[in-house]
């Protein structure tokens, strides 16, 4: 996977899950931030409507009739915008059926090819692919076309940012990071997951220390302070206020010399997209300052 490779993700909201269902909203987002979406005005033959589906996507049929574009406009717009690209979907079976329903009704052939998101395994390593799906699982789709597609593009871009960080560290001879975090430890675990999947030669360790354990660290946990931190090439401390002044950080600074402090909202869930993005942005910024001549 290269940081410049364009990937496009598509999502479709429909009138329901039924043999007679049809697309009502189509949206796509690519990894460069380009996006588009539109509502589709149902043709007279499209009569199926599932009220439970409406409760999920929040689009009433009256809105389609007022704001939707025609099926011909929708097909022409998709062909013009997507060209001959491979476009990825996390529900390719359903989305493929709804695209066929749309294009067949308009008697137009799609110029692009819809592919299952699992085919990204050809572009990602097995570990990256597994982490990618963990991120998607941790960030459920909001059930609107563009936000659903954007969630996939954002996950890929986060993997790319993490890969760039690992490459930068490796170029400077750093092959291991030790993360120390305050509870609930989700930021450290999220950072570990993103960095670990990039390269087999890169090692990330994660430690959670709460305020009640600090005294134990000061008095008896010598293995953590003397063995683990001596082996760390870089120490990243997340939410470090309760650790300030502790023997743990003093030891890390004395024997390691490179400590990066990150501030983050601990309340966000593990692998939350905004949490990971904030972590990687901060870490990337700190590393630029560290490696700048």
Give the pTM: 0.88
Strands 234-238 and 259-262: parallel
- Residue 235 near residue 260 (C-beta atoms within 8 A): yes
35-39, strands of its sheet edge to edge: 35-39, 23-30, 8-14, 86-89, 113-116
Please tell me the distance from the alpha carbon of residue 94 to that of residue 238, in angstroms, as a whole number: 42
Domain with CATH 3.30.420.10 in the chain: 8-157
Domain with CATH 3.40.50 in the chain: 172-291
Q: ∠224-236-282 over CA atoms, to 5°? A: 165
- Residue 191 near residue 164 (C-beta atoms within 8 A): no
Please tell me the distance from the alpha carbon of residue 276 to that of residue 46, in angstroms, as a whole number: 42
- Residue 170 near residue 227 (C-beta atoms within 8 A): no
Please tell me the distance from the alpha carbon of residue 131 to that of residue 137, in angstroms, as a whole number: 10
Report whether the peptide linkage leading into residue 86 is cis, meaning its omega lies within 30 degrees of zero.
no
Other Cβ atoms less than 10 A from the Cβ of 155: the count is 22
For 8-157, which CATH class?
alpha beta
**DSSP label of 123:** T
- Each residue's pLDDT, cut to its tens digit, for the chain (293 residues) gives 556 789 999 999 999 999 999 999 999 999 999 999 999 999 999 999 999 999 999 999 999 999 999 999 999 999 999 999 999 999 999 999 999 999 999 999 999 999 999 999 888 999 999 999 999 999 999 999 999 999 999 999 999 999 999 999 888 888 888 777 766 678 888 888 899 899 887 877 776 655 555 555 444 444 455 555 666 677 787 766 656 666 666 666 665 555 666 766 666 788 889 888 988 988 888 888 888 76
For the domain spanning 172-291, the CATH number is 3.40.50
Closest CA to 157 of 39, 42, 6: 6
Chain centroid offset of residue 72 CA = 33
Please tell me the distance from the alpha carbon of residue 184 to that of residue 268, in angstroms, as a whole number: 10
Structure tokens at 84: 């001959």
């Amino acid at each position: 996977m290269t940081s410049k490779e364009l990937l496009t993700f598509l999502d479709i909201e429909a009138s329901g899950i039924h043999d007679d269902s049809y697309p009502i909203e189509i949206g796509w987002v690519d990894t460069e931030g380009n996006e588009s979406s539109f509502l589709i005005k149902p043709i007279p033959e499209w009569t199926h409507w599932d009220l439970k589906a409406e409760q999920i996507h929040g689009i009433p049929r009256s809105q389609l009739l007022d704001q939707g574009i025609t099926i011909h406009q929708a097909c022409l717009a998709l062909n013009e915008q997507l060209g001959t690209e491979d476009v990825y979907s996390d529900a390719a079976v359903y989305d493929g059926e709804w695209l066929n329903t749309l294009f067949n009704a308009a008697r137009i052939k799609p110029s692009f090819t819809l592919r299952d998101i699992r085919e990204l395994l050809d572009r990602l390593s097995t570990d990256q692919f597994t982490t990618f799906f963990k991120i998607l699982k941790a960030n459920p789709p909001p059930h609107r076309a563009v936000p659903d597609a954007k969630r996939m593009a954002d996950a890929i871009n986060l993997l790319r940012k993490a890969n760039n960080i690992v490459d930068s560290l490796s170029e400077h001879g750093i092959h291991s990071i030790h993360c120390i975090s305050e509870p609930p430890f989700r930021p450290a675990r999220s950072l570990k997951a993103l960095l670990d999947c990039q390269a087999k030669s890169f090692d990330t360790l994660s430690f959670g220390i709460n305020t009640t354990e600090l005294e134990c660290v000061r008095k008896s946990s010598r293995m953590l302070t003397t063995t683990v931190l001596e082996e760390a090439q870089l120490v990243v401390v997340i939410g470090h206020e309760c650790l300030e002044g502790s023997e743990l950080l003093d030891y890390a600074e004395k024997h390691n010399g490179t400590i990066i402090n990150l501030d983050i909202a601990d309340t966000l869930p593990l692998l939350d997209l905004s949490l990971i993005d904030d972590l990687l942005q901060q870490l990337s910024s700190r590393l630029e300052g560290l490696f700048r001549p």
